[in-house]
Amino acid sequence: MVKLSRRKFLSVSGGSLGLFSLTGGRSHAAEPIKAIYGQPAANASTVDVAVIGAGAFGGWTALYLREMGLSVALIDAYGPGNARAASGGETRQIRAGYGEREIYTRWVLEAFKRWEVRQEEWGGLPLFYRTGQVTLQREWSRGLRATQGVLNKLGVENEVIEHDELTRRYPQFNLDDIDFGHYVPSTGVLMARRGCFAVAEDFERKGGQFVLAKAKPGQRSARQLQEVTLSTGQIIAADKFVFACGPWLPKVFPNPMKNRLVTPRRVTFWYGVPADDDRFTYPNCPNFGMADVYGFPSIEGRGLKFSTSYDSIPFDADTDERLVTENEVERARKFLHKWFPALHDQPLLESRVCQYENSVDEHFIVDHHPDMENVWIVGGGSGHGYKHGIMLGDYVARRVTGEATDPELDRTFKLKQETF
């Protein structure tokens, strides 16, 4: 993997990027993304690479390609970090625990370093909160045993906390039905929407072209795509194309993506925490996981967050309403009462409906389109993509430019023949 040092960032950008000051104020160095705020793009342009999708995968891919010196257009129908995207929303978890899938643990260990470097280079913009995570269990599962084994193998700090000590450390949890917890202090929370904007702003500041428009494949010649046509009437021609448009991939490419990606609905809730009780706020509360629920402490005043996977109803990112049901709110309230008794009378502050975009094996997809040699399909975040965007973008950029990559990753990320 390419090591992204401070010196390398500064040599690319020409100095500190300064999106935000350390005190949280916006610096004069930051410029809004022009296309987002309505400045028209040219009617036609030609670039080395056109990237469609400005989420975690596409945004980072475009930025790395631009830092390599290529001319790049980054195109998104709704804008980076938008509410319809799989990368939308305020926060995402970054964790090293992946069961037997060691390749992702190794990537996350490098991603920790890269997120911290980018955070520093972007003027202290708060993107990463290291919260730690405790997984609450009644008994050991195969997946948790595998996670512990990989973490130990790679020298990642982790700890098994027995019930009595768990109760002493985390009195804010109801642990009556729990025998032990598995704690990993390196786990954290990423500010997802903020990160998507920061990547897009940096991309544009370094000379990339951002276009706010819907793109579809245009003219072809033999086994080559020549251009994409945009909803604005613009045409963008390129030598190579990267379609990293998440849940929209089956719509853009019914063949080969139909039945190779599914987009199940997910719901997330934020509940209030008492003003005089800091046990539920960062840094006094870790990320947590139990049964089919995971959650975060209150960060930046947003409230205690938890997300459920109660149902897997197919969801259309373009047209479906993002409203939680009464039944979902009732189940969320019961969860809150059971696990966090001190919050039983706290209000629901916010709820959100989103979607995953799952591949058949929950591995990422990075592969050529079978009918167009200069088109790359990038997707399959499968509910764990955001944290890896900073790594996957680098990997995709090197695949696109023909640099050597890890053969194991190439095989793992190949578009599978299996379907749902």
The percentage of the chain sitting over the pLDDT mark of 90, rounded to a whole number, equals 87
> Is residue 1 scored above 50 in pLDDT?
no
pLDDT, position 224: 98
pLDDT band, very low/low/confident/very high, at 13 (cuts 50, 70, 90) = very low
The model's pLDDT over 153-162, given as tens digits with 9 standing for 90+, comes to 999 999 999 9
The model's pLDDT over 377-397, given as tens digits with 9 standing for 90+, comes to 999 999 999 999 999 999 999
Distance CA 406, CA 112 (A): 20
Stretch 16-23: mean pLDDT: 32
Specify the amino acid at residue 38: G
What would the two tokens of residue 273 be? 């925490």
Stretch 111-128: mean pLDDT: 97
- Whether 288 and 295 have beta carbons less than 8 Å apart is answered as yes
Residue 240's DSSP bridge partners are: 49
Distance CA 91, CA 190 (A): 5
> Is residue 39 scored above 50 in pLDDT?
no
pLDDT, position 311: 73
Give the CATH superfamily of 6-89+192-260+361-412: FAD/NAD(P)-binding domain (3.50.50.60)
> Is residue 128 scored above 90 in pLDDT?
yes
Distance CA 289, CA 97 (A): 12
pLDDT band, very low/low/confident/very high, at 292 (cuts 50, 70, 90) = confident
Distance CA 253, CA 233 (A): 21
Lowest-pLDDT range of 4-18, 148-162, 266-280, 281-295: 4-18
Distance CA 69, CA 206 (A): 10
pLDDT band, very low/low/confident/very high, at 308 (cuts 50, 70, 90) = confident
Distance CA 277, CA 257 (A): 49
Stretch 306-330: mean pLDDT: 92
> Is residue 29 scored above 50 in pLDDT?
no
**Which residues make Cβ contacts (< 8 Å) with residue 324, sequence separation at least 6?**
267, 269, 351, 352, 353
As to burial, measured by CB atoms within 10 angstroms (0-12 exposed, 13-18 middle, 19+ buried), residue 222 is exposed
pLDDT, position 312: 80
> Is residue 325 scored above 80 in pLDDT?
yes
The model's pLDDT over 192-244, given as tens digits with 9 standing for 90+, comes to 999 999 999 999 999 999 999 999 999 999 999 999 999 999 999 999 999 99
Distance CA 42, CA 355 (A): 33
Beta carbons within 10 angstroms of residue 75's beta carbon: 29
* Class of the domain covering 130-189+262-359: alpha beta
The percentage of the chain sitting over the pLDDT mark of 70, rounded to a whole number, equals 90
pLDDT, position 32: 52
pLDDT, position 44: 73
CATH fold match for the domains 6-89+192-260+361-412 and 130-189+262-359: no
pLDDT band, very low/low/confident/very high, at 404 (cuts 50, 70, 90) = very high
pLDDT, position 115: 97
- Whether 91 and 48 have beta carbons less than 8 Å apart is answered as no
Rg over alpha carbons for the chain, rounded to the nearest Å, is 22
pLDDT, position 335: 96
What mean pLDDT, rounded, does the chain reach? Answer: 91
pLDDT, position 193: 97
pTM (2 decimals)?
A: 0.91
Specify the amino acid at residue 234: Q
Domain residue spans of the chain? 6-89+192-260+361-412, 130-189+262-359
